[in-house]
A = this chain, B = another copy of it.
Amino acid sequence: MAEHGSVVSPADAVARAVNDGKVHVLLADHSGSVATIKLPLIAAALSSYPNISIRIILTKSAAHFLSGQSEEQPTVASLFDIPNVDGVHLDEDEWIVPWTRGGSILHIELRRWANLLLIAPLSANTLAKIVNGMADNLLTSVVRCWDISPDNPRRPRILVAPAMNTQMWIHPITASQITKLVDEWGVNGRTPSVGWYEVLQPQASKLLACGDRGSGAMLDWNEIVAIVKDRLSLYAVSP
């Protein structure tokens, strides 16, 4: 997936944009959740925020949900039509240029670039990998190398919006893993001065895509957008 009108490597393109004076939002999506189809809506709604630059991390499998099969499920390519979407990054982009000493590294550059990372939807699987420190794709690598320097008031944040089938959500492991993000690593956790996560709790009860009624559905995307916009004020560059 290329940069808009760019011939440099994806990592170099990100590196160049670090100091462009904009506020930088990284949107991430995992392969497998029906809530993936909200991504274009979220990106479009954020795109009107003043002086914003948006980059999107997708996994290969997101194409299952974004292959133009219906109006609410456009193609991946169409994401570039959304204003201020300046890059779409896939796992294989990490390795597009054979690395040599001094070369820039995509997940590191994306972390340097981003003021805020929104993972929406967050799957049960990616939640498990994050909490256990795994880093086996571009998204989890960005998460694993996140800048968590303490005592930085403008420390970048990771916002996650879990989306699960009700049974997945009420499994006891979910609560223990969410608790880790909230209490140990959260901006409002036990030691807020070092936390960097915010969990956007799912809806209490809803008719889910799988036909079940219950908890676990991703927070309404309008509310997600409102929260992200609010947090962005922390990072807005004064002119």
Contact = CB atoms under 8 A, between A and B. Distances in A.
A44 interface: no
Interface residues of A, number: 53
Interface string A120-138: 0001110111001111100
A165 B100 CA distance: 16
A132 B146 CA distance: 22
B64 A99 contact: yes
Interface in A133-156: 133-136, 144-148
B148 A170 contact: yes
Number of copies: 3
B145 A167 contact: yes
A223 interface: no
Interface of A: 32, 34, 37, 61, 64-65, 67, 69-70, 72-73, 94-95, 98-102, 104-105, 108, 111, 123-125, 127-129, 132-136, 144-148, 165, 167-168, 170-174, 177, 184-185, 209-212
10 contacts: A64-B98, A69-B100, A73-B100, A108-B165, A111-B167, A128-B135, A135-B168, A145-B167, A146-B167, A147-B167
